[in-house]
Chains A and B, each alone.
Chain A
Amino acid sequence: MTSIIDDIRKTARQLLTEEKVDVVIGYEKGSLPLKATPCFVRSPQDVDKLIWDETCENNLAAFVVKTPGKKAIIAKGCDSRALMVLIQENQIVRDDLYIIGVSCQGVIDQRKIEAETGEIIGATITDGKISVQGIECDKVFNFTEVKDITCQTCRYPNPVLEDVHIGGSIEVLQQATLFADVMVMENKSDSERKAYFKEQMGKCIRCYACRNVCPMCYCQECFVDCNSPKWLTGGVDSAENLLFQTGRALHLAGRCVECGACSRACPQGVDIRALSRKVNKDVKEMYNHESGLTEEVKPALNVYSADDPEAFLVKE
């Protein structure tokens, strides 16, 4: 880790000193334990703020579109996939972007820790062990136990698009079945699934953190904000929240890069991923597409084939 951090800082310092970029978008230590926060480094003196560890949970690609000028960005596998989609969708100019790729072990899901220790007062990470001082109790966790659910099934920990790579690469986990989590859900009865989503959507407060944290949600006017037609009221009942989340998941079909930022950002712990994972599974199975892997392969919903499945049609 230390050498990765040193290399990140060195690269950032060089880019800024040589004025190749105006800003380096990376992570610095946050104000809370086990929390990193995005940072924008503009001068070589500040590069020592930059860090890299299992707490760097934000998808920095979300900041690229709105940050003016030439920028360098620290990109994990998922961040780089997001950048790839943004390039495909003409949202960023590749020449204005310098991608510092770092392979990612996965990030910590604080909720898993807090479920056992209560609010985290302090924590240290050493060699894959996380020692947590909690308000209820202290405990040492193995990183794998508290790895974010998205990262547990991540198949692209290594950046797919980068100008420089820092650190080693990570061996991709071979999975017997992809989307096992979605299959568990699919195998439940209709009423169980309905009840599950009703409960989850009941928690949503429509703060739109999920939308705003998402690198793919860059619409000038989101359908939820549109007042003519008015797709949604300001209501917060589970039906309207589901309309919002389903509408969003469908808009991300073939574009979602599975970074899990939406679920991590949700202050209410809504299982937003459950929707996008399902769509991603369908896209993979029906159209054999995974978003943001290469620039050449067009997003699944931008293309078609004459023999696409149509089992969904009425039988008449």
Chain B
Amino acid sequence: MKISKEKFGQSFDALAAEYQVIAPVRDAGGVSYKAVKKFSEVKQDYLNSKLPPKSFFFPQHEKLLSYKKEGKDVTVKNELNVEKTILFGIRPCDAKGFLLLDKVFKNDQYRDPYYFERRDNTIVIGVACHKIAPTCFCSSLGLSPASSAGSDIFLIDLGDSYQIEAISDNGKFLMAGLEGLEELSTEEQTLVDTIKSAETTSKVDVSTITTKLDKMFDNPYWDTLHEKCLSCNACSFSCPTCHCFDISEEVLKNEGSRVRTWDGCMAPLFTLHGSGHNPRDQKKSRWRQRMLHKFNYFVHNNGDIACVGCGRCIKNCPVNLDIRQTIDGVNKAELVVD
């Protein structure tokens, strides 16, 4: 099915009254996802946002609870407030990132209510990529510039209209309310097929990386890989699947709150014990952790590689430590037999 952008825009504007609608907009130095009221505000032609949209489910800084101390007493208040939201214009890599984060924030014992309250109250409208950046490598990770995994509704831009497809029940529900759905013409169908068959130019081979990494914890490959790394968190903070966080207290006088903030495994303080012992005190072990977590541990725990090939970490690394080269390096590394 397809829908003209005009009709779609009308429905979009109507939905914006009911939902908080987040969409890509142009701002200083790039494209970011921001709350919009009108379809006309939405940036149409963009590669991808500078930062991943994970922050709408997992904000960089969020209050978990607040409290007030009076004498020896304390009253604690849950700070979980959620709005019904539509995330519009999500790229396939980021939508897949949501599916991976779902696996993190829910495990065999716990379910993170802050993440899932937002997740459950959000409809994701994905849009296929038309342009492919040189740092994109999603085709190597089971995705493509037009894969719909993780979206509730998936759109392909056809110029004046969108090819529209409902992926989930939520998507079907929303799509049922849309007016002006039409069938695709033959030419349009051909265009859709072309877009769907597109692949990223940059590729890596991750077919055997998980099993290879099983045997690589003590490999000398890690000895030099990390040297130029600065231990900043530019990669982690711009990654759609990185999810590590810190919990800390913000308090003034007798009132305060407990907040969680993004944290990252690149910082040495991340694992520092109270005793002073630090299991990952070396850059080497932290880089190894980053690779192993994404390409090995995550696979063992959740059945999937925790990388979606969005390329943001490549683009943002101040020293050009390219994860694609690291993957190649792992593939080429000689196993040490002991």
Contact = CB atoms under 8 A, between A and B. Distances in A.
**Do A and B come from the same complex?**
yes
Interface stretch (A2-10, A151-159, A174-182, A231-239): A231-239
Contacts of B134: 32-33, 119-121, 135
Given A235-B259, A267-B316, A37 B135 contact: no
Interface stretch (B17-25, B75-83, B222-230): B222-230
B337 interface: no
Interface in A12-65: 30-33, 35-40, 58, 62-63
Chain A binding site: helix, strand, loop or mixed by DSSP?
A: loop
Interface-centre pick from B231, B234, B324 (highest chain A CB count, 10 A): B234
A234 B131 contact: no
Nearest to A120: B134
Contact of A233 (B51, B238, B250, B318): B250
A142 B82 CA distance: 51
A303 interface: no
B232 A269 contact: no
Interface residues on A, range: 35 or more
B321 interface: yes
Interface in B211-250: 224, 227-228, 230-234, 236-238, 246, 248, 250
B261 A38 contact: no
Contact of B232 (A111, A212, A233, A235): A212
B269 A37 contact: no
A213 B230 contact: yes
Interface residues on B, range: 35 or more
Nearest to B133: A119
A208 interface: yes
A209 interface: yes
A208 B261 CA distance: 14
A62 B261 contact: no
B325 A269 contact: no
Interface in B94-150: 131, 133-135
A119 B315 CA distance: 10
Interface in B32-76: 47, 50-51, 60-61
A30 B232 contact: no
Contacts of A199: 28
A178 B329 CA distance: 47
A212 B230 contact: yes
Interface in A59-75: 62-63, 67
Interface in A205-225: 205, 207-209, 211-213, 225
Nearest to A267: B316
B262 interface: yes
A268 interface: yes
B320 interface: yes
Nearest to A62: B230
B179 interface: no
Given A205-B51, A213-B230, A234-B61, A37 B319 contact: yes
Given A63-B227, A135-B131, 11 more contacts: A30-B322, A31-B320, A31-B322, A37-B320, A37-B321, A207-B232, A213-B230, A235-B250, A267-B50, A267-B237, A267-B316
Interface of B: 28-30, 47, 50-51, 60-61, 131, 133-135, 224, 227-228, 230-234, 236-238, 246, 248, 250, 259, 261-264, 267, 269, 314-316, 318-322, 324-325
26 contacts: A31-B314, A32-B322, A37-B320, A37-B321, A58-B318, A58-B319, A62-B230, A118-B131, A119-B133, A119-B134, A207-B232, A207-B233, A207-B237, A209-B232, A209-B234, A212-B232, A213-B319, A233-B259, A234-B61, A234-B261, A236-B60, A265-B230, A267-B318, A269-B28, A269-B29, A269-B30
